Amino acid sequence: MNIISQATAFGGMQGVYSHESEACKCEMTFAVFAPPKAINEPCPVLWYLSGLTCTHANVMEKGEYRRMAAELGLIIVCPDTSPRGNDIPDELTNWQMGKGAGFYLDATEEPWAENYRMYTYITEELPALVAKQFRIDKSRQGIFGHSMGGHGALTIALRNPDRFRSCSAFAPIVEPSTADWSAPAFEKYLGSDRAAWRKYDACALVSDGARFPEFLIDQGKADGFLDNGLRPWLFDEAIKDTDIKLTLRMHERYDHSYYFISTFMDNHLTWHAERLG
């Protein structure tokens, strides 16, 4: 692991790091905020997954999480959204596909299958690396994210309920298999057999029997992607007649930006801390 930068913030350390990824077969960059408490003892860890076109830097620079994370003693890990590099397949004119648009899945179709293995990277490779380098309490992990990252958080929690104790999302894509901006990418990454898409679709996972105790979702009513891509009400419908609890909060005037995310970041961190103990 290489250190790109480190800076003290609220008594803790905000770092940016890189490493050679076996899953993605390229150099990957990620950010970690370690609170002051992590100097002396293991701390619970929250994984934040970013949205389309983003990198680790968006939430690190605009998410405003460090003050509360320091106060609550939470380690925040912010991975990148896709593999990167000159040799990585991409669609330069399509922001919904390729670099910045990994959708937290393991691609099976060429030319994407060799590098676009973000599900394995997020659930296996990066956690193993972080556990070696930082004082994390692996028994207390939560996951959250924004938009495409909200989709990733929901699906990863549903598929790994024994690892994660909490999950929340800002404006998530809850049914990417039918959303305008994700269904075309799913077909390119995973092929035309939609049965293969279901394990990366939160609504489909619930329908197929996946369970997680509780979710928190915040959504802005002024979000321009609300009706054609996000549609959180579909997840609300999907969990009916299950024992899954959902707090879905719709906010007047808020859009899809980090102004929205930073407004409710403290609330999400506190919510996770209560469940991580």
**Catalytic positions:** 147, 223, 256
- Dig out the tokens for 8 from the structure: 């003290």
Q: Which long-range contacts (CB under 8 A, 24 or more apart) does 4-12 make?
A: 4/29, 9/33, 9/66, 9/70, 10/35, 10/36, 10/66, 10/67, 10/69, 10/70, 10/71, 11/35, 11/36, 11/70, 12/36, 12/38, 12/66, 12/69, 12/70
- Dig out the tokens for 97 from the structure: 């596909």
Residue type, 186: F
Helix, strand or coil for residue 220?
strand
Strand order in the sheet with 12-21: 2-9, 12-21, 26-34, 75-79, 43-49, 136-146, 166-170, 214-220, 245-251
DSSP state of 106: B
Compute how many other C-beta atoms are within 10 angstroms of the C-beta atom of residue 213.
14
- Dig out the tokens for 273 from the structure: 């801390």
